[in-house]
Every structure is written in C-alpha cells, then in structure tokens.
Amino acid sequence: MDATLVTGGAGFVGLNLTEALLARGGHVVVFGREAALPGAAPARFARLPGRLEVIAGDVNDASALRAVFAGRRIGAVFPFAAVTAGPEREAADPHGVLDVNLHGLIRTLEAARDAGTVRRVVLPASAAVYGESAYSHAVLDEATTPAVPVSLYGVTKYAVERAGLRLCAHWGLDAVAARIGACFGPWERDTGLRDTLSPHLALATAARAGREAVLPPGLRLSYDWVYVRDLVAGLLALLDAPAPPHRVVNLASGEDFAPRLDACLGVLAARFRGFRWRDAAAGEAATIRVSEARPRGVMAIARAAAFGWRPRFAPVAAYEDYVGWLLASADQGLG
C-alpha cells in the first residue's frame, strides 16, 4: 500500500490527521522537527491498525526529503509543516516564516514530483487568505470573496495555494488546496511555532486547573471555529475524491460559534470542578487571549459539500467530544 507523507505531522492538525489515517489502516510517514510524537500519541497510535514512521528533518533539507521518498512508495502528500507567526515573530523573522511556509512547501513538492508516485497533494491554505475581506463579507466564499491576506502568515498561505496549485499543474501532481478554518480540539498544544493558539486550548487548560476564565470581548464576536475531527474528515474527503470538483475548498464549520460559547463553557464546567467564567470588566485584563477585535464572516461550505463532506460536530457536541478526550488524556498524561 502506498504511504501518505504528512510534513508537520507532529503538530496539532498533523497529529489528528495521522491518527485518522492510521485508524483506517494507512501507512503514514510523519516528517518534521520532532524526532518523536509527543505525549502518549505513540502509545495511542500503536493501537491503531495502520503503520507509522516518524522521521526527523527540516522541510528545507532537499536531500532529507529525497531520502523520505526514496525509502518507501509515497502516494499522497500533506505538506503541512508551517510557522504560524504572530505580529512579533513576522516582524522579527520574516525569512523564517517564508522559508518554512513557502520554500519548504516547494521543496516538498519538488521531492514529490521527482518521486513520480504521488497521486494527490492536499495543500494547506487557510482562512487567513481572506484577511481584510473577513471583516466586510458575511460569508467568505472561495469564488467571490477577494483574498486580501494581511499577516505574513496569511500571505504565505495564499502563496501556498496559488504557487502550490501552479507548480503542481506544471509538474503533473494532482493537487487540491484546503482553506482551513481556525480549528480546535484534541492534540492541540504549543509547538513553539504557532503564535495563535486557540482560546479553546486556554479554556480547557483553565478548566483542567479548576480556575476561573476571564473572557475578552473578542470571544463574543462572530467567528467560525471548526472542530479538528471535522476538519480531518474534510481533509480525507479531499484526499479521496477521485475527480475533485474544485481545486480550492474552504474547510470550516460555516457557522458563527459565538452564540454557543456559554453552552460550550457549561460543558467544561459540568466536568471540571472549580471551572467558571465571566466577561472581563471594562479595563480588566482577560485571562483568555484572542487575536480578533472585529467580527468575522463565516466560511462558505458548499464547495466542501460537493466532496461529500459536511461538519458533524455542532459547537456543544464538539465540546462534549473534546472534554471526553481531555479526561482520557488527563488519565494517561497525554495532554
């Protein structure tokens, strides 16, 4: 069976994707900065039917990538290694962001091209490609909403999509770009390379510690959060589609999470003693951080539906599932 290469496979999305691929019996090659998967992921993944290889390396090391393709037959690639830079990092180290997100991606595609065995590439674009448009469009549509990325990260993600599709077309690689919505859920952790950790992780951390969470006003604003298990099901739909009906596809919930926030926090409070929450008073520092201060449109999901995918976890169901995972993780030191 052909293997699936996941660069950045020890990161948040990569771990969930790897777990899902292994669960369906796949052979997964994780390539990234980490020499091993974190926490109890190795033990958990060992119980799944698939086969896992973890290879430490840098996506800018062309010979290391060549060796990955030379050592096994790889049929699919998720080139997901990335630096999700916030304002400080992008100002301090713009080259570092471009090196990984864009040049590292191109090096991965070159190795895939040379291997000649790859039948599908799923490119990791992002909701960040909408940038400024997210604040002036109620619905962010792949075809009609202008991409106006603002952050350097968003600019690189747009380049991942455009340059990735262009080069794949030149090189005979069949590619689909996923505009991945902001996600939350199992396996999220600080890799040191993502400056915009989700507020859901901070809320879960406060809940586990039995602490009060003081919410910033930004958490009450319209925002489309996708549960990572839904996201991964969408990524697999893009991987499996024999004839993709679209080449650029939003993967998101298509819904505003904010109206369900209190119900979700109630799910945390029901399972973690001592957890409570309140809105920050005027001038008070919140204990939960969000990067947004303006309401955003939600992402259209009609194109994704054409791949046979739709999100299955409404916000409260997502929180219930996440809490179940957190409790299992706490028992086993996974989190």
Ligand X SMILES: NC(=O)c1ccc[n+]([C@@H]2O[C@H](COP(=O)([O-])OP(=O)(O)OC[C@H]3O[C@@H](n4cnc5c(N)ncnc54)[C@H](O)[C@@H]3O)[C@@H](O)[C@H]2O)c1
Least gap, CB of 183 to ligand X (angstroms): 4
Least gap, CB of 111 to ligand X (angstroms): 13
By beta-carbon proximity to ligand X, the closer residue of 58 and 114 is: 58
- Expressed in percent and rounded to 5, the helix, strand and coil fractions of the chain are 45, 20, 40
Q: Is 180 exposed, middle or buried (0-12, 13-18, 19+ CB in 10 A)?
A: buried
CA 241/CA 234 separation, integer angstroms: 11
* Six token digits for residue 222: 């319209």
CA 302/CA 245 separation, integer angstroms: 11
The H or E element that residue 184 is part of is strand 183-184
By beta-carbon proximity to ligand X, the closer residue of 99 and 280 is: 99
By beta-carbon proximity to ligand X, the closer residue of 188 and 275 is: 188
* Residues found near ligand X in the complex (CB under 6 A): 7-8, 10-14, 32-34, 58-60, 80-84, 100, 104, 124, 126, 157, 180, 182-183, 191, 193-194
Least gap, CB of 184 to ligand X (angstroms): 7
**Residue 29 zone, left/alpha/beta (φ > 0; ψ -120 to 50; rest):** beta
By beta-carbon proximity to ligand X, the closer residue of 154 and 275 is: 154
Q: Which residue number is nearest to ligand X in terms of Cβ?
A: 11
By beta-carbon proximity to ligand X, the closer residue of 15 and 118 is: 15
Least gap, CB of 129 to ligand X (angstroms): 9
By beta-carbon proximity to ligand X, the closer residue of 82 and 275 is: 82
Least gap, CB of 8 to ligand X (angstroms): 3
**Size of the chain in residues:** 335
CA 214/CA 28 separation, integer angstroms: 40
Alpha helices of the chain — where are they, by DSSP H? 12-23, 41-46, 62-71, 87-92, 94-98, 105-115, 152-170, 199-208, 228-240, 261-271, 302-305, 315-332
Least gap, CB of 206 to ligand X (angstroms): 20
